[in-house]
Amino acid sequence: MTMIVVNIHEAKAKLSEYLDAVAKGERVLICKRNQPVAELRAIEQKRAGPRPIGGGPHHFEVPDSFFEPMPDDFLDAFESGPVYPEARPSTSRVAGARVTHDAGRRTKRRK
């Protein structure tokens, strides 16, 4: 990408030419007494339509069954299971004290 540097007088005289250059991806720097005061650059265009699903470099097809509701027995398995599954008690040593973890409850015992 290149940048075009012009003074205000030239920018006013050839504005349509500079706007065409901006549309092609160039930038126009407008100066007053050799000091930059403004810059013309293209505005990002908004997407015209919705973004397609799976349009990346690893293209894949999304089957229609993906959007169907899950079976009731499958959903029931989520709702009927334990909220916090029981963990096996484990022990660890922390700074000389023995700490036993039992289903989320901590107890300290002295040696």
pLDDT digits (tens, 9 = 90+) for 49-71: 887 766 677 777 778 998 999 88
Confidence at residue 68, expressed as pLDDT on a 0 to 100 scale: 92
Domains (ranges, CATH) in the chain?
3-40 (3.40.1620.10)
Confidence at residue 37, expressed as pLDDT on a 0 to 100 scale: 96
pTM of the model: 0.42
CA distance 94 to 92: 7
Q: Give the closest residue to 40 by CA, choosing from 26, 61, 55, 58.
A: 26
Give every residue of the chain whose pLDDT is below 70, as ranges: 1, 53-55, 82-111
Confidence at residue 93, expressed as pLDDT on a 0 to 100 scale: 54
Q: Which helix (H) or strand (E) holds 74?
A: helix 72-80
